[in-house]
Structure formats: C-alpha cells, structure tokens
Amino acid sequence: MPENKSRPPQEQPWESGWAPDTSRAPGTRRLWLAGGLAVATIVACVTAIALNDKPVEDTTADRQGQTLSDDETGGGLISFATPSATGSAAPAGSKSASPSPSSSPSASSSPAAQGSPSPHAPAGSRASASATPTGKPADPAPSGDRRSVQAVNYPDRYWHVSDGLVRLDAPRGSESRQDSTFTLVKGLSNSSCYSFATHDGTYLRHRDFVLRSERNDGSTLFKQDATFCPGYSGQQGAVLLQSVNYPNYALRHKNFQLRLDPWGYNTTNRADFSFRLVSPLG
C-alpha cells in the first residue's frame, strides 16, 4: 500500500526547518498571562482600599467640628462629615415642644390622666407628647373670681349654658347673662388649673368631647373632665384651655358649640381655641 505523504510526520521538521514543541501543553502561555493580570488587579484593589482608609487630618485647630467638603477631605471616593464634639445645635428661633416656665401653670405641665381613660373618648385619642407652643399665657383670674368667657374672634359672644350644653351666644337678657357667668375655682383634679362652677352648683365638664354642665358625682373621671389648664394661645390677653386628662386637646368653639379638639402646631382656625376671661355679665 502506498505511503500517505499529505502531511509530514510530527517528528520531522517542516520545510522551513521549524518543528512544533511537543514538550509543553498547549495554552500555557495564555494561562501565565491571565494569572499575571489577576495578580495586578488584586494589587490595584488593595492599594485603592489602603488609600481610601487613610485618615484625614485638619490643619488648624479651629476647624474641629466642621464638615469638610469633598475637595478638602482627599480621603477617597466617599467622604463623611466629621461629627461635632458638642452635638448638633438647635436652629435659632426654633420652637420647643414644651412651654417655658412662667408664674402661671402651663398646659403641658398638667399631669397625665390617672386611672383608665374616659369611656367616652375614642381609642388612641391621647397623644404621647404635648404640642403646645412656647409662650406665656394670659394672667389667670384668681380662684373664686366670677368671670364670663369671651371668644377672641367673636367678641360679642360668650360661653352660655343652654339645655345642659355650652354654646357661644350673645347675651339676651338677665337670665342669659346669669347663665353666661361662672365662678373660677381651683381645678377639681389639679389645683394649679381651673374648674368652672355655674350659678346653680354644676360644673362644666367634657363628655364625648362636648362641653356641658353637670353635677359633680365625686368620681375621678368627673374631676378630670372638669379641669382645664391655661396655656399660651398666641392671642394677646387670651388663654388656651387644655383638658387635664387630654393635654393635647383644648376647648374650642365649632359652629358655636364648645367642644374638645386636638391642638398642635398644625392646627388650623387657631383663633377658635382662644378665649378671654372678662368681667362677669350677670
């Protein structure tokens, strides 16, 4: 059988005199190049991390506590503000959550309700912190003084007991004036606050968040419902009357009906919550 000479045998050199190297596995040179590239990549990453973690030192003592810009830090791709040694300061003119102390009791200093909450109040109606704005309330009337309560935004209308409820009405005669006059006594639940006694021996108390006139039944709940603490209303010569057992609720008139509503910095119609204790009408 004739010999097949289409290609030379592997042990014989090519016509140019070069013979393939059969002592090394094919692709070894590529593996060396890939390994070298991997080592270079690892070295570059380690170097970048080391430079990123390099501490940044301030050049002057007065820059302590100040935030450095990205150009000043030079510490890497991501920089963080240096924390102040004294903590962050409150912005100028900001309002505190609790009123400043004054000669008269503030609404937020009212004690929290003792015992179980009122059964007439909806669940979750108590707020966790007082939202009364900072300021000094109007000078309260002395205990035992007879006063009428005038609305700031309706100066011709006064608190008036009618059919057991308290409304904002204009005086219409001697009987109406008598029902619009109250005796201020020390709060039944907190002696630093007010309770309003009527001429017929009842007290003003909130029930179902509506202000009404009822006789004292001696219960702790009644005493709390009938006690209101004066606070700063934002109106000159006026007071905000907050419930002692719902300190984030205050008396207001709505559709000329007196009731408790939430009071806070976001409250609208704030003048509806402001009242003046004036000379008695009857």
Examine the pLDDT at 74 and tell me if it is beyond 60: no
Give residue 32's pLDDT. 81
Give residue 246's pLDDT. 95
- Name the percent of the chain lying above pLDDT 70: 58
Give residue 15's pLDDT. 56
Give residue 20's pLDDT. 59
Examine the pLDDT at 129 and tell me if it is beyond 50: no
Examine the pLDDT at 127 and tell me if it is beyond 80: no
Cβ neighbours of residue 195 under 8 Å, at least 6 residues apart?
A: 184, 185, 186, 187, 188, 203, 204, 226, 227, 228
Examine the pLDDT at 269 and tell me if it is beyond 80: yes
HSE-CB at 195 with a 13 A cutoff on CA atoms is 23
Model confidence pLDDT, tens digit, residues 216-247: 999 999 999 999 999 988 888 899 999 999 99
Beta strand pairing status for 203-207 and 146-151?
A: unpaired
Examine the pLDDT at 89 and tell me if it is beyond 90: no
What mean pLDDT value characterizes the chain?
73
Give residue 31's pLDDT. 82
Q: Could you tell me the pLDDT band of residue 143, with boundaries at 50, 70 and 90? A: low
CB 188 within 8 A of CB 223: yes
Q: Is 145 left (phi over 0), alpha (psi -120 to 50) or beta?
A: beta
CB 187 within 8 A of CB 195: yes
CA triple 50-56-60, angle to 5 deg: 160
Give residue 23's pLDDT. 61
CA dihedral in degrees (192, 201, 114, 186; nearest 10)? Answer: 10
Q: Could you tell me the pLDDT band of residue 30, with boundaries at 50, 70 and 90? A: confident
Over residues 266-282, the mean pLDDT reads 90
CB 263 within 8 A of CB 249: yes
Examine the pLDDT at 88 and tell me if it is beyond 60: no
CA–CA gap between residue 107 and residue 243 (Å, rounded):
8
Examine the pLDDT at 200 and tell me if it is beyond 80: yes
Look at 46 and 127; give whichever has higher pLDDT: 46
Give residue 130's pLDDT. 39
Greatest mean pLDDT among 57-61, 106-110, 263-267: 263-267
For CA atoms 45, 48, 53, 54, give the dihedral sign. Answer: positive
Greatest mean pLDDT among 40-44, 56-60, 151-155: 151-155
Give residue 115's pLDDT. 39
- The whole-model pTM stands at 0.52
